[in-house]
């Protein structure tokens, strides 16, 4: 939480600079921007970096430090001890999550309320709330009050809360896969939806460059994932353990780290298993140090780790579903990861296959330059003079 004086000073500075511009004005709401570096935050950063020459872009964020282009707002952090404690209580936590009040959603809700004053006092041409259903509700409110269009980007799988966000009827709902587009159109009749995938910076994630030092037996099978139940990392541990050689490296953290570390050390041993928690800047060298990247999770809204791996020209072995078929294409193997012998056989096959440039060529279809061009066209359409 930041001091009142610093918030006001930042607002005044940003507002004056913002309102002096003549280009179309786009405002993002993303409470975690500048606080964490995950999918949505990286997504907004890439758009700000690549579209700043065409639009004036500002982010409303709960960051505790001054960041160029950021207007600081207040929000109850997702890491607030009281919020975390309440969500861990069996009955209270279940009830809170049932009404959209998980720790992250509480941060989004309180940040949305805090943002209203700034949004009502300043002029802009397009609003892009990155805050789930609470962001969509905020976008609908601002559109009704100020006649400003808003875009909802559906980063999550199309379930209860994505459908609720879609029912706020954004001017455009951006689906990140063709599969999620079909689901949201079926669930929300009349919604205007477009497909724009997530992107990967192929200049950063590339085969050339530094290689992370790994001291485990080769080949190296890498799993980049949060360590939680739906990611099913235990399946990767069992599959690699059934091979006669090779190691599993897990890059990630989460509530099941103790269990996964115990299983990995038990079935594979210290020379064939390790887990790392690395900053984003260390990920390209880690991908280069691997031989095959795998993702056995039960579902993925968009498997960004697969894109990053393939951009480094590493093949991937993933669970068979529509989303991963769409993203992986000819850059890897789709299989049933629940069947340990099948999973292990495909890991070995992926390592032994000469993939040439196929993985990188597949990732190039999702290069950020192309993705940013799609957003530029969308934002230009929605901010065109005289529109609607």
69 contact partners, CB below 8 Å, separation of at least 6: 14, 48, 57, 58, 59
pTM (two decimals): 0.86
Write down the pLDDT at residue 387.
64
Q: Does a structural domain hold residue 209? A: no
Q: What's the angle, vertex CA 380, arms to CA 144 and CA 177, rounded to 5?
A: 85
Residue 201, CB-side half-sphere exposure with 13 Å CA sphere: 13
Q: Does a structural domain hold residue 205? A: no
Same-domain pairing of 162 and 273? no
Q: What's the angle, vertex CA 264, arms to CA 263 and CA 267, rounded to 5?
A: 80
Same-domain pairing of 240 and 354? yes
Phi, psi of 343 (to 5 degrees): -60, -50
- In order along its 388 residues, the chain shows pLDDT tens digits of 334 333 333 343 344 444 445 799 999 999 989 887 778 898 999 999 999 999 999 999 998 778 888 999 999 988 889 988 888 888 888 888 888 888 888 999 999 999 999 999 999 999 999 999 999 999 999 999 999 999 999 988 888 889 999 999 999 999 999 999 999 999 999 999 999 999 999 999 999 999 999 999 999 999 999 999 999 999 999 999 999 999 999 999 988 999 999 999 999 998 999 999 998 899 999 999 999 999 999 988 899 999 999 999 999 999 999 999 999 999 999 999 999 999 999 999 999 999 999 999 999 999 999 999 999 999 999 998 866 5
Token code pair at residue 85: 């404690």
Same-domain pairing of 161 and 228? no
Same-domain pairing of 88 and 173? yes
Output b/e per residue, 192-209; b: 16+ Cβ within 10 A. Answer: ebeebbbbbbbeebbeee
Token code pair at residue 316: 């991937």
Q: Are strands 56-61 and 316-319 parallel, antiparallel or unpaired?
A: unpaired
Same-domain pairing of 283 and 154? no
Same-domain pairing of 241 and 195? no
Q: Does a structural domain hold residue 357? A: yes
Q: Does a structural domain hold residue 61? A: yes
Write down the pLDDT at residue 37.
78
Q: Does a structural domain hold residue 206? A: no
Whose CA is closest to 197, among 172, 175, 182, 181?
Answer: 175
Same-domain pairing of 346 and 377? no
Write down the pLDDT at residue 4.
36
Q: Does a structural domain hold residue 215? A: no
Distance of alpha carbon 114 from alpha carbon 135, whole angstroms:
12
Q: Does a structural domain hold residue 211? A: no
Same-domain pairing of 190 and 228? no
333, 317 contact by CB (below 8 A): yes
Same-domain pairing of 57 and 115? yes
The CATH number given to whatever domain includes residue 57 is 3.40.50.2000
Q: Are strands 292-295 and 316-319 parallel, antiparallel or unpaired?
A: parallel
Same-domain pairing of 184 and 261? no
Distance of alpha carbon 360 from alpha carbon 315, whole angstroms:
9
Exposed (0-12), middle (13-18) or buried (19+): which is 143, by Cβ within 10 Å?
A: middle
54, 376 contact by CB (below 8 A): yes
Number of domains forming the structure of the chain: 2
C-alpha torsion angle, residues 167, 170, 171, 172 (rounded to 10): -90
Same-domain pairing of 183 and 228? no
Q: What is the three-class DSSP state of 61?
A: strand
Q: Residue 318 belongs to what domain range?
A: 220-364
Q: What is the three-class DSSP state of 385?
A: coil
């Amino acid at each position: 939480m930041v001091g009142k004086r610093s918030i006001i000073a930042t607002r005044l500075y940003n507002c004056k600079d913002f309102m002096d511009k003549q280009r179309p004005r786009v405002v993002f709401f993303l409470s975690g921007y500048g606080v964490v570096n995950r999918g949505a935050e990286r997504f907004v950063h890439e758009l700000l970096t690549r579209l700043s020459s065409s639009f004036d872009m500002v982010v409303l964020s709960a960051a505790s430090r001054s960041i160029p282009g950021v207007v600081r707002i207040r929000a109850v952090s997702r890491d607030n001890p009281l919020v975390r404690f309440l969500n861990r209580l069996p009955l209270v936590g279940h009830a809170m999550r049932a009404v959209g009040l998980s720790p992250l959603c509480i941060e989004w809700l309180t940040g949305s309320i805090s943002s209203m004053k700034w949004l009502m006092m300043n002029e802009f041409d397009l609003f892009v709330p990155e805050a789930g259903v609470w962001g969509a509700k905020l976008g609908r409110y601002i559109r009704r009050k100020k006649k400003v269009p808003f875009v909802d980007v559906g980063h999550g799988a199309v379930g209860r809360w994505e459908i609720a966000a879609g029912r706020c009827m954004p001017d455009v709902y951006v689906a990140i896969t063709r599969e999620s587009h079909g689901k949201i159109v079926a669930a929300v009749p009349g919604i205007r939806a477009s497909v724009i995938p997530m992107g990967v910076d192929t200049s950063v994630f590339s085969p050339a460059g530094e290689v992370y030092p790994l001291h485990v037996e080769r080949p190296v099978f890498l799993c980049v994932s949060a360590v939680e139940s739906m990611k099913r990392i235990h399946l990767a541990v069992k599959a690699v353990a059934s091979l006669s050689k090779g190691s599993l490296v897990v890059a990630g953290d989460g509530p099941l780290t103790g269990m996964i570390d115990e299983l990995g050390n038990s079935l594979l041993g210290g020379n064939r298993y390790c887990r790392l928690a690395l900053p984003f800047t260390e990920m390209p060298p880690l991908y280069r140090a691997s031989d095959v990247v795998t993702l056995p999770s039960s579902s993925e809204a968009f498997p960004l780790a697969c894109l990053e791996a393939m951009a480094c020209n590493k093949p991937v072995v993933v669970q068979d579903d529509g989303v991963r078929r769409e993203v992986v294409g000819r850059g890897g193997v789709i299989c049933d990861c629940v069947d340990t012998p099948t999973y292990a056989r495909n890991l070995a096959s992926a390592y032994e296959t000469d993939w040439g440039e196929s993985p990188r060529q597949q990732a190039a279809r999702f290069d950020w330059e192309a993705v940013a061009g799609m957003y530029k066209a969308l934002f230009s359409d929605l901010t065109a003079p005289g529109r609607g």
